[in-house]
Structure 1
């Protein structure tokens, strides 16, 4: 069962997206944990009129940019706090938001998508054996799946525990995540019928932090 309390807590801790990015844009797509770094929405191949799904859309920053590209921008998140934040900031963006578990949404929706993506979102925190089959079922022929997350810690693969801290007087909340090396993600996607899978670690930008970002892409 998804720990909704954990993601509501996380929402309160996560800073709001800046009003503009480094080049003055009010919406932009960011795959990595670093500001103004990494590839953009071009990984998804979005064209006007496309239907695009964000699994774990959070406060809606990436999804708002998808909407500016002329796509139907659909977002799913389990956190009420995240949904309220997205609705408040992007009220005029035309986002279609659902507060729901990703697997359940994909099982129940009748919609098909040109692209499905997840940025440090539901693909990281859902068992791929459950999630990938329903993503593939809801992707149109030639559709794109792309997701990003932190690279796996060496020797720590498969289902791992992540902790979301609360106050000093409260135990942290626990959520599960799924970590694999890039080559293993490629194999997992092939096992689930995805075509042309790629996985790479984008290095961190110059500075003290060294952890890069794993970005995975495949098609149907």
Structure 2
């Protein structure tokens, strides 16, 4: 366990508000790929989820995971942050959440998954050279891997970057984690090089009045 990274994500998780009780459509659970509420595609990006075995890499407080469970998926979440794991385990649906890095979970396990996904999670904050082969190896034939996060913040500034988490205590030193920023076409190439097929990568436009879109990448293990 990377203790410094876990501490940084604890800071982030403690500052995050929980989801609303219901979304704009009145639903008590829902799937959201973007940073904007009630915006963008839903769980259909992963294919059919009822009865599927699904893995959330960097599940946070479990909002997306809970929606998949409500739809009948056998879903497991992984997160490095004890704070986030505790929040997810408080959910009324009794979510299956493990406190590990994505790499540790994938490398140690033997179960295969129908789909794996990451929403502003491990896919953005783990070296793709390490993570992509691990995900590919744990998918069933035809299994889908999809992830979303912000597009690169600065044109021409790609690869490992630093993300800062500021503790709330006055005078506390900021904590840093690495994220991997790439444009859509580079992510598509990296997935293909790792063995994924039917790869797509696009930026979802933001809602009206917002400036930042969301990068959504999807690929599958060959059937």
State whether TM-score is above 0.5. yes
Report the Cα distance in structure 1 between the residues aligned to 2:158 and 2:74, rounded to whole angstroms. 35
How many Å apart are 1:94 and its aligned residue? 4.1
What pairs with 1:1-220 in structure 2 (closer than 5 Å)? Answer: 1=2, 3-88=5-90, 90-91=91-92, 93-152=93-152, 153-167=154-168, 168-207=170-209, 209-220=210-221
Unaligned regions of 5+ residues in structure 1, if any?
none
Report the Cα distance in structure 2 between the residues aligned to 1:102 and 1:128, rounded to whole angstroms. 11
RMSD: 1.0
SS at structure 1 position matched to 2:186? helix
TM-score, structure 2 as length reference: 0.95
Show CA shifts across 1:45-72 (max 9, x none): 1332110000000000000001111110
Show CA shifts across 1:129-182 (max 9, x none): 010011000000000000000001211100000001123411211000001000
Alignment coverage as a number of residue pairs: 217
Contact 1:116–1:135 (CA<8 Å) still a contact in 2?
Answer: yes
Contact 1:75–1:98 (CA<8 Å) still a contact in 2?
Answer: yes
Q: Which runs of 4+ in 1 moved over 2 A?
A: none
SS at structure 2 position matched to 1:124? helix
Report the Cα distance in structure 2 between the residues aligned to 1:60 and 1:46, rounded to whole angstroms. 19
Report the Cα distance in structure 2 between the residues aligned to 1:183 and 1:166, rounded to whole angstroms. 35
TM-score, structure 1 as length reference: 0.96
Report the Cα distance in structure 1 between the residues aligned to 2:94 and 2:108, rounded to whole angstroms. 22
Contact 1:53–1:73 (CA<8 Å) still a contact in 2?
Answer: yes
SS at structure 2 position matched to 1:123? helix
